[in-house]
Chain A
Amino acid sequence: MQRRSHARDDKTMIDKDALARYMFSAADEIFATMLGLQIILGKASAENPETATDSERVVALIGLAGSYNGTGIISCSPALACKLSSMMLASDLRVVDGEVLDAIGELSNMVFGNVKTMLEQQVGQLGLSIPTVVFGRNFWTRSVGEQWITVPVEVDECEIDLRMCLSQNHRSLRHTSFRQHAPVTA
């Protein structure tokens, strides 16, 4: 049986630098508007999709699906999560509790919701999941797919990681290709 390569539509390939810019731009607007904070961009990098942490972290994960599938993550220290949540809710939250997790979940929803809107101009409609927030230590995160793009940003002298892993949905490509080619006979 011959394998046929599926030509990719170059118009829908997402440039990693562009993705990093979208993430920073969304975060910049959200931190300024909702929290009155300015963020400073660190150096974006591509890394393996498997990351481990041995210190306490608050990690918010949100999924995207459509012509591209993937995950967006916001990761920060518990102290920063409490600080950001306190500012967002005009409260004094000193320990990570349900309110803090909800606030960080909503931050991830807003950041990656806005990234989604920017991506949709290029790739068409995408769906966004409800965020899940994890708090703890000694855990790994892994998303099957291509490399993560990590955009570290500094806010109020603390670091927060914005990460995104995005892969083209080849199922939709394959379905299109089968309609276009003659059936393979044994």
Chain B
Amino acid sequence: MKINVLIVDDSAAIRKILTRVLSQTDLPWGIIYEAGDGVEALDVLKSSEVSLILSDINMPKMDGLQLLTEVRANPQWKQLPVIMISTEGSEAKVMDAVELGANNYVRKPFTADQIKEKILSCLKGVVAA
């Protein structure tokens, strides 16, 4: 089973780095979608099948926490694993994300191993299937 991923970040540099990290992880990746903000991300979700979302928080138009709220409110995406990746490192912000339904949280700067560990943790059930 192929795993399609949606990377949401207004920085093309971060999207490129995360794509590279994914390619270094030995998982059956399918399509890696990219979005520059929450609005674009919702457009992708409406038209494509996604198994994992990696999302920044601070973005224009719709930030990551608003995106997370929209995702969890939609029955079709309610169970979708979402990992927040952000410079926002305060405990309060992490708790906000967790309370809104984020499966995991990675603070920037991150190492490839940190991302891989969080992804593998989120995808245990999906990979096993």
How many residues of chain A get a CB closer than 8 Å to chain B's CBs? 25
Asked if B11 and A109 sit within 8 Å, CB to CB, the answer is yes
| Interface contact tally, CB-CB below 8 A | 58
How many residues of chain B get a CB closer than 8 Å to chain A's CBs? 20
| A130 in the interface (beta carbon within 8 A) | yes
| B16 in the interface (beta carbon within 8 A) | yes
Chain B hits for A144, CB < 8 A: none
| A161 in the interface (beta carbon within 8 A) | no
Instruction: Indicate whether A128 sits within 8 Å of B17 (C-beta atoms), given known contacts A33-B109, A33-B110, A106-B11.
Output: no
Q: Which of A33, A99, A113, A128 has the most CB of B within 10 A?
A: A113
How far is it, in angstroms, between the C-alpha of A114 and the C-alpha of B88 when the chains are bound? 7
| B12 in the interface (beta carbon within 8 A) | yes
Interface SS of B by simple majority: loop
Min CB–CB distance A89 → chain B (angstroms): 5
| A78 in the interface (beta carbon within 8 A) | no
Closest residue of B by beta carbon distance from A91: B16
Interface SS of A by simple majority: helix
| B108 in the interface (beta carbon within 8 A) | yes
Chain B hits for A99, CB < 8 A: 12-13
| B20 in the interface (beta carbon within 8 A) | yes
How far is it, in angstroms, between the C-alpha of A110 and the C-alpha of B87 when the chains are bound? 6
How far is it, in angstroms, between the C-alpha of A105 and the C-alpha of B14 when the chains are bound? 11
Asked if B13 and A128 sit within 8 Å, CB to CB, the answer is no
Asked if B108 and A110 sit within 8 Å, CB to CB, the answer is yes
List the interface of chain A (C-beta within 8 A of B). 29-30, 33-34, 85, 88-90, 98-99, 102-103, 105-106, 109-110, 113-114, 116-117, 120-121, 125, 128, 130
> Can you give 23 contacting A-B residue pairs, CB < 8 Å?
A29-B109, A34-B109, A89-B16, A90-B20, A98-B12, A99-B12, A102-B11, A102-B12, A102-B13, A103-B13, A105-B11, A106-B13, A106-B14, A109-B108, A113-B58, A113-B86, A113-B88, A113-B89, A116-B87, A117-B89, A120-B90, A128-B87, A130-B58
9 further A-B pairs in the complex, CB-CB below 8 A; given A89-B17, A98-B12, A109-B58: A34-B109, A85-B13, A90-B20, A99-B13, A102-B12, A106-B11, A109-B108, A113-B88, A130-B58
